[in-house]
Structure 1
Amino acid sequence: MTTEISRRNLMMATTAVAALAPFGAFAQGAYPSGQITFVCAFPAGSGADVLVRFFAEKFAKVSSQMVIVENKPGAAGNIAAMYTARAKPDGYTIYVHSGTSTAANMSLFKAPPVDVVKELQTTSFINKQAFMFVVAYDSPIKDMKALTESLKKKGNNASYATAATSGKVLGEIYKQKAGVDPVEISFKDAKDSLNDMLSGSIDYGVHDPVFALSQANEKRIRILATGSPIRLKSLPDIPTAKEQGYDIDQLGWWGSFVPKATPKPVVDKINALFNEILAQPDTVAFLAKFGGDVYVGTPEEGQALLAKTVEEWKTYVAMAKIPQN
């Protein structure tokens, strides 16, 4: 009797497992199966918004799902980061933003609302790009050596323009490496510094690649160097400050992020979908227009770089004497 009951129980258990197995396999492989939201930390129509919407459209195609963009501007990206961190950890809310800026906020704010390493999970890289040293197009300065010589002659009468935190940091590192001490003039936006550079009242600028490339194409400014440690594939003709004798390694990166508790299979699927997009020629060409190179890696590599960038920016903020918000 006991043997008969045991056999019956075993058969029932086996049948139950068999019945559940397809459901379990389906549940694991179901992502994505619904509308996905891409979170953008900048207003609609901004340069960053253009990039996020490009990837939203691409992600919709490779995932066969609807993808919408929600703009959550403000607090230097903290609002968007917090919105993402508090979202349901199911892979349907994805933050597409600068990993460098996301990490930097941990040091730029006295009380950051989100611990980005503990509350966000990097799902993919997107691109890497570098800020640039620029002068007026008709300036006699053609390279970083000539810039340094000019600044040493002018001493404290020399000045330079910045309009973003990464520019402030790169500018400060160059000053220390070159042994010069020009006065930093901070602008709300890079384009606001253009007239002062063209008139010669400001000697040079340290600006983002989107602004620098657009103005260089119009022959208003000349790009002397990037802050990247090696030449970017998208900009083979633009030298680095490092190859001109300045030991500078300031390469920014963009990525995608989800709430920390998002299941690993979902994280890995998002990574695979982004990597599929990044392999497409038109994506490579799109990023190149912004001075960026495609950047591919695993979620684990992304999370490690996020943590590393957080630590690096503690030093940068202190070195550049950037006041906390």
Structure 2
Amino acid sequence: MTNPKFNLTRRRGLQLAGATLLGSTVGLPAFAQEFPSDTISFICAFPAGSGADVLVRYFAQGVSEVAGVTVIVENKAGAAGNIAAEYTARADPDGYTVYVHAGSSTAMNYHLWTNPPIDPRTDLRGVAAINQQPFYIVVGADSPHQTIDDLIAYLREAGEDASYATSATSGRVLGAAFTNALGVSPVEVQYRTGPDALPDIMSLAVDFAVSDPVSTMINAREGRTRTLATGAGSRMQVAPDIPSLTESGLDIAQVGWWGAWVPAETPDDIVNRLNALFAEVLERQETQEFLASMGGDTWIATPAEVDAMMVQTVDEAEALVELADLPRN
């Protein structure tokens, strides 16, 4: 385990003292009963105003309401999320520092660094899942390709004369899996962000794009693009009319997912209490509608299920990084 911090903060000491005094209370452990009693920090891996920041702040507000304490968001951007993840892993394991991010991206990062700062399987502990949100295959609204099968037929005919846009690691991975499964080699055009790629998608300068879920939903709703398929292994509840690539005979099932983590040595009672707080927020209809607007399906899971998913995702990510030929830092 990489987290070596054993020195108790003043807050941690007070909590343990309180637990001793309340040790005879019937029911939940005293430590769990009094948690949380102080400000909780949600660690966001991207800057304020980003799509990730919007999601983290939504849950900070929700958890604050159900827990009755202040929850603040600390933006620790950089290194594709590694700075925020490492900050959390090194924090005191008292439940007051919570990393809220894409588990799929965190797993991918482990294989993108020659010397990764942490191993998310052992240095972080899952608290709760939030949602599942895949990337999508999209075309411009004026594209002649009406269905995913139309696009596949065109790509097989055009070969290297075709092109597609990507703007994120997950998009690059799905794009590589899609074209590899078809046995075609269209030119990949990389953009810094999804909005940067939009003009070329709309003008048909590129034949298709691998789009993040938020951009996919917004642009389709505004009539800028047409969504042809999801990279998930099955149709999503948020977009039941969008077929999966498996329906076209392609063995592709890539689903991004978000969750929350704490330092690995955080006690069970605190982890379970945090899980319950997230679950209460996730069960709200307004939360499910918010997550749908972000292009994903709500996912409620136990801490053990989150940990198991992280292990699985880290294992799967290694082959995907190699397939997409992603550069290592």
TM over 0.5: yes
- Residue among 293, 309, 329 paired with 1:289: 293
TM-score (norm 2): 0.91
Deviation at 1:25, TM superposition (A): 4.4
Match for 2:34: what amino acid? A
Q: What residue is the counterpart of 2:154 in the other structure?
A: 150
Q: Which residue of 1 aligns with 2:106?
A: 102
Residue by residue over 1:97-133, the C-alpha shift from the partner in whole angstroms, topping out at 9 and shown as x without a partner, is 0000011110011111111111100111000011000
Aligned Cα root-mean-square deviation (Å): 1.6
Which runs of 4 or more aligned residues in structure 1 lie more than 4 Å from their structure 2 counterparts after TM superposition? 17-20
Question: Highest CA radius of gyration, 1 or 2?
Answer: 1
Return the offset for 1:176.
Answer: 1.7
Q: For the residues of structure 1 that align with 2:248 and 2:54, how far apart are their CA atoms?
A: 33
Q: Kindly indicate whether residue 320 of structure 2 is the aligned counterpart of residue 312 of structure 1.
A: no
- Per-residue deviation at 1:138? 0.9
What do the CA deviations read for 1:141-181 (whole angstroms, capped 9, x no partner)? 01121111111221111110000111111111111222221
In terms of fraction of residues, the more helix-rich structure is: 1
Kindly provide the amino acid, as one letter, of the partner of residue 62 in structure 1. V
C-alpha contact 1:124 1:271 (8 A) present in aligned 2: yes
Q: Could you tell me how far apart the structure 1 residues matched to 2:271 and 2:29 are?
A: 17
The Cα shift of 1:199 comes to: 2.1
User: Which position in structure 1 is the counterpart of 2:235?
Assistant: 231
Deviations 1:8-29 (A, max 9, x none): xxxxxxxxx9985249943342
SS at match of 1:256: strand
Query: SS of 1:21's equivalent?
Result: coil
Q: How does 1:1-325 map to 2 (within 5 A)?
A: 21-22=24-25, 25-325=29-329
Residue 236 of structure 1: SS of its match in structure 2? coil
Q: Distance in 2 between matches of 1:200 and 1:20?
A: 67
Q: Which runs of 5+ in 2 are unaligned?
A: 1-19
Shift of 1:272: 1.0
Which residue identity is paired with 1:121? R
Asked whether the equivalents of residues 31 and 270 of structure 2 are also in contact (C-alpha less than 8 Å), the reply is no
Distance 2:101 2:162 in 1: 34
* 2:255 aligned partner, one-letter code: L
Structure 1 residues without counterparts, runs of 5 or longer:
1-16
For 1:216 and 1:28, locate their aligned partners in 2 and report how far apart those are by CA, in whole Å. Answer: 45
1:30-61 deviation per Cα after TM superposition (whole angstroms, max 9, x unaligned): 11111111110110111111110000000001
Counterpart CA distance in 1 for 2:119 and 2:242 is 36
Query: Offset at 1:244?
Result: 2.6
Q: 1:18 to 1:258 in 2, by over 3 A?
A: closer
